[in-house]
A and B are shown apart, each in its own frame.
Chain A
């Protein structure tokens, strides 16, 4: 997995609550058997005026020129500023894959849906929860100043605004460790293989019906 230490970049404000995973990446693109290439279809129904198809070349499709990620001032954004319950809906990991493929490295919101939040960490994408007041303030600043950039420092758990103001955020210690070092969960878990086997031996005694049934 790609590591995340510090990211500084243009922040784009997506000012609506309950942005769901169908909005982030519509279902027709879930038919891919790959992990990459979802960036051109990120927010497809908001970004374009026509209905997108899988494997379609998106260059030349009619753009919704009012959509925030289509505005000149937010081109190259790496930080997405969002509202509450971002990423609600399905478990599709295609949502963080699409954000990542588009170039977003960090999403800041007052709250996230659980599965999406979890999926971000598996893909080198950092979801940051700030208070309603802090997010409101960032929205005001981002919209007021063209070229507004945020610095996100995971090691010190801080979001730093252009004026030097710092906003601290919480992150689970294990997830932080994995993200900072780009660690793959499976390898780490397999280091505990003996524990897993011991559990299974015990569980086979307690609940044998949960073993060897599906064949």
Chain B
């Protein structure tokens, strides 16, 4: 019999009950809550007179709606009344149900997918869910993690379980060594470009290979974060020493004797050598160079040295139609050079790229340079209060401000523009976020997804440029 994949192992370890009709009940160790997808779930519990099955499995923090400008006045001073009610509702619900919450001005507050790992809430071998599709991020630690809808949020609150069906196993192996200046973001954008935005539908993707092993935990989170942009709810990376070292001393991590037991259990969280995958995709690390999306789907991505595609050269009529529509929305011409795209704004942040390593990479590029005069705004939004504090300790905030970028309070910010940070219609943005859908960052806004270093390079030049050119100077 073939061995087990990491996903198989995690599934088996959490199987509460296998039903005859093929559905299964899976145990959930951790649920993270935020203000957007939880209010209707709490309300559902209240109406049915139900309680949380296990209060200590939940952690909440507001992130999507919170302002990232000065906010010491607290929730009462959130200008948008609808956002204010939503953030207040989360606070009230957590108080009522006894859920631990890092409120807006707690220095541990931040984007759910930054906070969970940072606190050691996410642990290897755990199941993690959240009413947010980028929950796949937590798979970087050898956890089984995925986004769920609000009905399922309520279901997990009430039962600590999910009704699930096993996904297929897919392996994306990145062999070889990444070049200098090529980051985890470039790797995952390249992967999405290869397998497409629906390439992982129905699958849990394990990211493996030498290149993935060489990437830091922050980088692995960036990669798993965007598994969902390839259609896979679950992205996952096997546990190694890098994973285990990450959790030492985190607030919710095990300590003392439990640490030793946990660390030895975590070491088994790898796919067996003889495990069989339903699908395997092999990528050569050496072929990846900094990536830029030109269109309105993350699969519409090319290398920075390339040109915008020409729909007349596309044989598939649906794809050609998609390219035409995207070019029109993005205000780009077929065959235009990527480096000729002029930008209006830059956004460095989001659950994909707002961790300390991301901020260091961006700071290294802008240090001693100035934001181009044609850039209307360049935002740096740290992923959590703790990331912000660390960056300030390292003096990164000063580097950004001296270069002309804005240094903000933590939150989701312009990734999805639910708070006041948004693009104007027709504006082009170099963004370190995860989705370039129409209107995502603001009505009529035009998003180009890039790595933090590439976004920083775009900020100081006003257009896309291969960041490696700036690095060699």
Q: Are A186 and B48 in contact (CB under 8 A)?
A: yes
Question: Nearest Cβ distance between residue A86 and chain B, in whole angstroms?
Answer: 10
Shortest Cβ distance from A117 into chain B, in angstroms?
9
Q: What is the CB-to-nearest-CB distance from B294 to chain A, in angstroms, rounded to a whole number?
A: 15
CB of A32 within 8 A of CB of B82, answer yes
Q: Knowing A85-B231, A90-B132, A115-B233, say if A174 contacts B89 (CB, 8 Å).
A: no
Q: Please, which residues of chain A bring their CB within 8 A of the CB of B258?
A: 208-209
A131 contacts the other chain (CB 8 A): no
Q: Mark B20-63, 1 if CB is under 8 A from A, else 0.
A: 01110101011000001101100100001010010011110000
User: Does B248 sit at the interface, judged by CB under 8 A?
Assistant: no
Docked pose: A187 CA to B57 CA in angstroms: 20
Measured as residues with beta carbon below 8 angstroms from the partner, the interface class of chain A is: 35 or more
A123 CB within 8 Å of chain B: yes
Instruction: Say whether A118 contacts B16, CB under 8 Å.
Output: no
Partner of B151, one of A113, A122, A175, A206: A122
Known: A31-B82, A211-B56. Is A93-B151 also a contact (CB below 8 A)?
A: yes
Which residue of A is nearest B83, CB measured?
A31
Q: How far is the CA of A208 from the CA of B260 in the complex (A)?
A: 12
Binds A, one of B153-161, B364-372, B385-393: B153-161
**Residue B262 at the A interface, CB < 8 A?**
yes
Is the pair A174, B19 in contact by a Cβ cutoff of 8 Å? yes
Asked if B418 lies at the interface with its beta carbon under 8 angstroms from chain A, I say yes
Interface string of A41-75 (1 = CB under 8 A from B): 00001000001001100000000000000000000
Question: Nearest residue in A to B150 (C-beta to C-beta)?
Answer: A93
Contact A192 B149 (CB under 8 A): no
Considering the complex, give the chain A residue whose CB is closest to the CB of B262.
A209
Shortest Cβ gap from B255 to chain A (Å): 9
Q: Across the interface, which residues of A come within 8 angstroms of B322, CB to CB?
A: 16-18
- Chain A residues positioned under 8 Å from B65 (CB to CB): 31
What CA separation (Å) do A83 and B149 show in the bound complex? 22
CB distance from A29 to the nearest CB of B (A): 9
Q: Which of B27, B64, B86, B437 contacts A20 (CB 8 A)?
A: B437
Q: Decide: A174 and B22 in contact? CB cutoff 8 A.
A: yes
B17 touches A195 (CB 8 A): yes
Check B197–A18 contact: CB distance below 8 A: yes
Q: Determine the chain A residues whose CB is within 8 A of the CB of B25 once the complex forms.
A: 189, 192, 195-196
Judging by beta carbons under 8 Å apart, are B22 and A85 in contact? no
Residues on A with C-beta less than 8 A from B21 are 172-174, 177
Question: Which residues of chain A have a CB within 8 Å of any CB of chain B?
Answer: 16-18, 20, 22-23, 26-28, 30-35, 45, 51, 54-55, 83-85, 88-93, 96, 111-115, 118-119, 122-123, 172-175, 177, 185-186, 189-190, 192-193, 195-196, 199-200, 203, 206-215
Extra pairs beyond A22-B438, A189-B25 (15, CB < 8 Å)? A20-B435, A22-B416, A45-B443, A91-B132, A92-B36, A92-B149, A115-B149, A172-B23, A173-B22, A186-B48, A189-B159, A193-B159, A195-B16, A209-B253, A215-B56
Q: Which residues of B contact A (CB under 8 A)?
A: 16-17, 19, 21-23, 25, 27, 29-30, 36-37, 39-40, 43, 48, 50, 53, 56-59, 64-65, 80, 82-83, 85-86, 89, 100, 120-121, 123, 125-126, 131-133, 135, 146-152, 154-155, 158-161, 163, 165, 167, 197-198, 201-202, 228, 231-233, 252-254, 258, 261-262, 265, 297, 318, 321-322, 325, 416-418, 425, 435, 437-440, 443-444
The 4 A-B pairs with the shortest beta carbon distances in the complex, nearest first, are: A209-B254, A122-B151, A93-B149, A91-B147
